[in-house]
Amino acid sequence: MSSTLSENQTPETGTARVKRGMAEQLKGGVIMDVVTPEQAKIAEDAGAVAVMALERVPADIRKDGGVARMSDPDMIEGIIGAVSIPVMAKSRIGHFVEAQVLQSLGVDYIDESEVLTPADEVNHSDKFAFTTPFVCGATNLGEALRRIAEGAAMIRSKGEAGTGNVVEAVRHLRQIKNEIARLRGYDNNELYAAAKELRAPYELVREVAELGKLPVVLFSAGGVATPADAALMRQLGAEGVFVGSGIFKSGDPAKRAAAIVKATTFYDDPKIIAEASRNLGEAMVGINCDTLPETERYANRGW
């Protein structure tokens, strides 16, 4: 990817720099789950930096049960046609044919997501095989680096989608940041054992130890429901946030969406966050994660 180009070479698509660079353009922003073109427009008007097109938000996937799959292409195309910001869509873990379909539809990013029912309980999709970049969830550094080794160009901490409860998002982001900080303190001898413990390629482990951060953009997801939640994730080190059910399951989606955008930009200014938090109407009700049975924890999906 980093080979120097001469002027007569043909343009190259799908390079790591183009895929990872795309995520760099989203930084500081809010990516919102939407299920209709109308919601996509509300999200765009509120200042969303991208939308995630899906059939049901995670809160409804939880409620309805059953197998959750890739969305209807008609619905995804409707959303692509409705907005000018980038459109992302979800494939099931390991379901590389759903990913092929999403690429053919022209989505800008594919989320290989634990929110959908996994199609493969051993393997994730080979993300190098695609021109479209992938974002993947992670609960810890080893998981993040395994996804990057498979070609993910962006990572989001998983949290627990569809709960409106930020506790798991905080746990996973802190876990990733703490493990990176620990690597920084290791000498070269220790990095080999660290790679073994993390179950991740040594080269990536060394790169993280040198950079002090992931080699790709890190967002937070799963449970963000208020402006203060979004600002919390930013202050903890997320470079942006995904908001799923939190917006369109609330009383006044347009207002809440704009407020979460504002708090994400001014995440370190409590006065602005306070202003953004006023009179937003009802937040989504939310679920306490400690009462969620293990089988209903999406974050456990992914290997």
Catalytic residues: 90
Asked if 25 is part of the footprint of other proteins (rule: CB under 8 A), the reply reads: yes
Using the minimum distance from each CB to other proteins, give the nearer residue, 49 or 138.
Answer: 49
Known binder of ligand: residue 21? no
Assign 3-class secondary structure to 36-99.
CHHHHHHHHHCCCCEEEECCCCHHHHHHHCCCCCCCCHHHHHHHHHHCCCCEEEEEECCCHHHH
Asked if 271 is part of the footprint of other proteins (rule: CB under 8 A), the reply reads: no
Each residue 49-68 as x (binds other proteins by CB under 8 A) or -, in order, gives xx------------------
User: Binder to other proteins among 37, 133, 223, 246 (CB under 8 A)?
Assistant: 133
User: Binder to other proteins among 48, 57, 76, 144 (CB under 8 A)?
Assistant: 48
Asked if 39 is part of the footprint of other proteins (rule: CB under 8 A), the reply reads: no
| Number of chain positions touching other proteins (CB under 8 A) | 43
Asked if 24 is part of the footprint of other proteins (rule: CB under 8 A), the reply reads: yes
Determine contact, residues 163/292, Cβ cutoff 8 Å: yes
* Token pair in block for residue 239: 């470079």
CB of 103 to other proteins, least distance (A): 7
68-87 residues in contact with other proteins (CB under 8 A) are 84-86
Which residues lie closer than 8 Å to 158 by C-beta, 6 or more apart? 114, 137, 138, 139, 168, 169, 172, 221, 222, 298, 299, 302
User: Binder to other proteins among 45, 197, 203, 282 (CB under 8 A)?
Assistant: 45
User: Binder to other proteins among 73, 106, 251, 281 (CB under 8 A)?
Assistant: 106
Determine contact, residues 241/224, Cβ cutoff 8 Å: yes
- What secondary structure does DSSP assign to 217-273, as a single string? EEEE-SS--SHHHHHHHHHTT-SSEEE-HHHHTSS-HHHHHHHHHHHHHTTT-HHHH
Which residues sit at the interface with other proteins, rule CB under 8 A? 4-7, 9-15, 17-18, 21-22, 24-29, 44-45, 47-50, 84-86, 103, 106-109, 131-133, 258, 261-262, 265-266
Binding-site residue set for D-glyceraldehyde 3-phosphate: 174
